Amino acid sequence: RSQPISMSSPEKDFICKFVALATLQQSALSSDSKKPLQDVTNLGVALPALRYKYDHKRA
């Protein structure tokens, strides 16, 4: 399913370079890092409601 990446799109070109740069050094946080919920004191920004209604009876 995956094909070799060709540099046909500026976005793809950016992504490849960006990922290469970002993974050059070890990340400050590991991929499985998580703040324990006991230490969570802020939930961030409330996200706006979606434009779509959810119908729980249809689910």
Question: Which residues bind to another protein, rule: CB under 8 A?
Answer: 1-3, 5, 9, 11-12, 14-16, 18-25, 27-35, 37-38, 40-45, 47-59
Shortest Å, Cβ 7 to another protein: 12
Cα–Cα dist 17/47, whole Å = 30
Contact 40, 46 (CB under 8 A): no
Cα–Cα dist 15/22, whole Å = 10
Shortest Å, Cβ 23 to another protein: 4
Shortest Å, Cβ 13 to another protein: 10
